[in-house]
């Protein structure tokens, strides 16, 4: 609770006023009952003062109206506070994410992050908007009611506790360790089933291609069946105790009624008091039950909050503020080692130089660490040991903004924003329309864009057009051409091109790489035979480096890769 108020920060006052309002609402909501007491008292007098009774009635109506206004006020304040906190928290997390090592946002984490920004934050909203007021009401209302009842008649007040005491005996049964285990299992099998559904839907195209039917998708079927059996079993074991529980709640007035009538007929109790006990005697039980249900919610919220806190605790990359003057745009890796996770080195003592305005290809079996090299150069991560230099200056000494201006990264998967095609190339860069169109021409995508009815203003995405993989790649190249950064990293960018696109993409490439320091992560060796230098990586270490002809003589691994590549080509031809 205190951590949530801390998150609430500037909205704390609002949350507190909302709590006070709901307490006033709870107090006032009891006034009509009190008035019923006085009215009945009045009506049971030998000479009835109707005007007095009417005044009580009016008081009851006023109290009900004011109580409603306070409830309304509390709701409005708690909702405004909650949605403000929600927006601030999301902005805060988004800002924090922007400062995190970019590699953190790899696929592995994006799902978790999405859950954090959507679900976990949402739960906090629900808690502040609804549960804090419910919580305060759940404590205030029973306390006031119980004090009133004891003041009216201690004997009846005491007996009204009997059902509550029995419920307290039942609650440990319902919330036993076994039940907690069952709740955990319930969520687990629900998650399994949901994961099964997602996988099933994703797999439909593949299943169709291979002529499979839904019945063969066993994993999904098993998950659904498991969930069904689990829920059936759970309902069977928990419903008897739940039925007892509910009947206690619904018939909680019975002991009060029995003792109340006895006392009344013995003459030890007035009719208005009996009445008020029948109305209020067990009314505090339900709000208290709300509290017990809340415990589960609170554990979920706790989990969300601690995940948010974990995210906020990740150290951002160290940031330099001073812009540097590199002597050129050559690259050096000196004794670079790196591990994504402890004791699992991915790069070991890597040393190499890339001359300014030269082309270097990185090759090696899958998992050798090629993409990691590229990611370290753009500071998606910082290397664990060693140094990476651009123009003789350690990349950690550049402000991120300067580094980002120096390096263009053409990803394997291109990302398109749901914006106009123009904005998808311009990407907020400070460029003229002519420059954007020139870049599109160089990337061989201009003719395609102007052939569309809305031209550059055509929207991409759900409400606009869809583009083939090859077309999207050319948009990415247009962005890189427009950005015109002196260092260029290409990550297997041509791997998915079809032949017609490939010619265009090659043309776009040759435009892009003019007078640049280029690092290509290559799979198809035939495209890199002319590059200035090839680095051969093997299990995280640089195993050989040189030109294509030199490596064919020196490196066994390169020979093997080259042979495999040429054989594959013959096979395709």
Q: Nearer to ligand ADP by C-beta: 413 or 447?
A: 413
Q: Which element (helix H / strand E) includes 537?
A: strand 533-538
Instruction: Give the interface segment with ligand ADP, choosing from 153-161, 265-273, 359-367, 504-512 (CB under 6 A).
Output: 359-367
Task: Please tell me the distance from the alpha carbon of residue 118 to that of residue 123, in angstroms, as a whole number.
Answer: 9
Phi, psi of 543 (to 5 degrees): -95, -25
Question: Exposed, middle or buried, 273 (CB in 10 Å: 0-12/13-18/19+)?
Answer: buried
| Cβ-based neighbours of 136, under 8 Å, separated by 6 or more | 19, 22, 23, 26
**CA nearest to 417, candidates 468, 471, 459, 478:** 459
Query: 472 near 416, Cβ under 8 Å?
Result: yes
Minimum separation from the CB atom of position 536 to ligand ADP (A):
11
Minimum separation from the CB atom of position 314 to ligand ADP (A):
14
Interacting residues with ligand ADP between 363 and 392 (CB under 6 A): 364, 366-372
Place of tokens 């003057």: 325
Minimum separation from the CB atom of position 562 to ligand ADP (A):
17
Q: In the structure encoding, which two tokens stand for residue 400, read together?
A: 């991120």
Q: Nearer to ligand ADP by C-beta: 138 or 364?
A: 364
Q: Nearer to ligand ADP by C-beta: 366 or 462?
A: 366
Among 340, 417, 461, 514, binds ligand ADP (CB under 6 A): 340
**CA 195 remoteness from chain centre:** 16
Q: In the structure encoding, which two tokens stand for residue 449, read together?
A: 């864009």
Minimum separation from the CB atom of position 513 to ligand ADP (A):
20
Interacting residues with ligand ADP between 61 and 120 (CB under 6 A): 103, 106, 108
**CA nearest to 444, candidates 520, 531, 510, 523:** 510
Query: 348 near 541, Cβ under 8 Å?
Result: yes
Helix/strand/coil for 353: strand
Helix/strand/coil for 247: helix
Crossing angle between the packed helical segments 132-152 and 12-43, to the nearest 10 degrees: 30
- The sign of the dihedral angle between the CA atoms of 191, 193, 197, 202 is positive
Q: Nearer to ligand ADP by C-beta: 175 or 352?
A: 352
Among 121, 141, 346, 449, binds ligand ADP (CB under 6 A): 346
Interacting residues with ligand ADP between 273 and 302 (CB under 6 A): none
Minimum separation from the CB atom of position 564 to ligand ADP (A):
16
Instruction: Give the interface segment with ligand ADP, choosing from 306-314, 360-368, 386-394, 543-551 (CB under 6 A).
Output: 360-368
Helix/strand/coil for 408: strand
Number of residues counted as binding ligand ADP (CB under 6 A): 13
Q: Nearer to ligand ADP by C-beta: 103 or 470?
A: 103
Place of tokens 């001073």: 322
**Binding track, positions 180-199, relative to ligand ADP; x by CB under 6 A:** --------------------
Minimum separation from the CB atom of position 544 to ligand ADP (A):
15
How many separate helices (H) and strands (E) can be counted in the chain?
Answer: 22, 10
Task: Please tell me the distance from the alpha carbon of residue 391 to that of residue 152, in angstroms, as a whole number.
Answer: 87
What is the bridge-based pairing of β-strands 385-390 and 359-363?
unpaired
Minimum separation from the CB atom of position 238 to ligand ADP (A):
42
Q: Nearer to ligand ADP by C-beta: 427 or 557?
A: 557
Place of tokens 């805060």: 92
Phi, psi of 338 (to 5 degrees): -155, 145
Minimum separation from the CB atom of position 560 to ligand ADP (A):
16
Minimum separation from the CB atom of position 338 to ligand ADP (A):
9
Minimum separation from the CB atom of position 109 to ligand ADP (A):
8
Q: Nearer to ligand ADP by C-beta: 370 or 479?
A: 370
Q: Nearer to ligand ADP by C-beta: 102 or 308?
A: 102
Q: Nearer to ligand ADP by C-beta: 489 or 508?
A: 489
Q: Nearer to ligand ADP by C-beta: 245 or 338?
A: 338
Interacting residues with ligand ADP between 439 and 498 (CB under 6 A): none
Instruction: Give the interface segment with ligand ADP, choosing from 116-124, 349-357, 361-369, 508-516 (CB under 6 A).
Output: 361-369
Q: Nearer to ligand ADP by C-beta: 323 or 340?
A: 340
Binding site for ligand ADP (CB under 6 A): 103, 106, 108, 340, 346, 364, 366-372
């Amino acid at each position: 609770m205190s951590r949530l108020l801390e998150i609430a920060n500037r909205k704390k006052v609002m949350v507190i006023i909302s709590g006070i309002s709901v307490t006033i609402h709870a107090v006032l909501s009891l006034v009509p009952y009190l008035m019923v007491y006085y009215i009945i008292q009045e009506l049971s007098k030998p000479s009835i003062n109707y005007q007095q009774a009417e005044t009580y009635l009016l008081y009851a109506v006023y109290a009900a109206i004011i109580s409603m206004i306070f409830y309304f006020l509390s709701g409005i304040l708690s909702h405004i506070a909650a949605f403000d906190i929600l927006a601030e928290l999301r902005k805060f997390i988004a800002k924090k994410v922007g400062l995190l090592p970019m590699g953190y946002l790899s696929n592995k984490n994006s799902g978790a992050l999405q859950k954090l920004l959507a679900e976990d934050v949402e739960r906090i909203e629900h808690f502040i908007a609804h549960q804090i007021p419910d919580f305060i009401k759940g404590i205030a209302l029973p306390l006031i009611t119980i004090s009133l009842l004891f003041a009216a008649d201690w004997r009846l007040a005491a007996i009204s506790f009997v059902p509550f005491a029995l419920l307290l005996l039942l609650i440990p049964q319902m919330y036993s360790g076994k039940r907690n285990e069952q709740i955990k299992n319930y969520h687990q099998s629900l998650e399994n089933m949901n994961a099964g559904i997602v996988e099933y839907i994703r797999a439909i195209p593949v299943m169709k291609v291979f002529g499979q039917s839904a019945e063969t998708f066993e994993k999904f079927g098993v998950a659904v069946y498991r969930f069904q059996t689990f829920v059936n079993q759970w309902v069977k074991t928990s419903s008897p105790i739940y039925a007892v529980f509910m009947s206690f709640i619904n018939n909680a007035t019975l002991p009060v009624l029995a003792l109340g009538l006895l006392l009344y007929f013995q003459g030890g109790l007035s009719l208005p008091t009996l009445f008020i006990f029948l109305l209020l005697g067990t009314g505090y039980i339900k709000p208290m039950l709300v509290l017990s249900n809340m415990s589960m919610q609170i554990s979920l919220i706790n989990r969300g909050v601690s995940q948010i806190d974990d995210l906020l605790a990740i150290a951002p990359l160290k940031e330099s503020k001073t812009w540097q003057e590199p002597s050129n745009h050559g690259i050096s890796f000196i004794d670079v080692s790196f591990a994504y996770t402890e004791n699992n080195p991915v790069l070991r003592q890597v040393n190499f130089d890339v001359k300014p305005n030269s082309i270097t290809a990185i090759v090696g079996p899958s998992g050798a660490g090629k993409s990691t090299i590229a990611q370290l150069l753009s500071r998606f991560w910082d290397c664990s040991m060693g140094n990476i230099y651009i123009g003789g200056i350690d990349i950690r000494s550049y402000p991120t903004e300067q580094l980002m201006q120096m390096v263009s990264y053409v990803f394997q998967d291109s990302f398109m924003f749901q914006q106009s095609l123009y904005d998808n190339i311009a990407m907020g860069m400070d460029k003229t329309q002519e420059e954007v169109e020139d870049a599109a021409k160089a990337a061989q995508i201009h003719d395609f864009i102007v052939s569309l009815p809305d031209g550059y203003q055509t929207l991409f995405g759900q409400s606009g057009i869809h583009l083939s993989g090859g077309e999207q790649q050319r948009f990415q190249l247009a962005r890189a051409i427009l950005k015109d950064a002196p260092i260029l990293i290409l990550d297997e960018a041509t791997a998915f091109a079809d032949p017609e696109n490939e010619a265009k993409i090659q043309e776009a490439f040759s435009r892009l790489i003019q007078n640049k320091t280029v690092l290509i992560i290559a799979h198809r060796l035939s495209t890199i035979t002319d590059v200035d230098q090839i680095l051969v990586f093997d299990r995280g270490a640089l195993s050989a480096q040189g030109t294509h002809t030199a490596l064919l003589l020196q490196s066994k691994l390169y020979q093997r890769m080259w042979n495999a590549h040429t054989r594959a080509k013959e096979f395709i031809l």
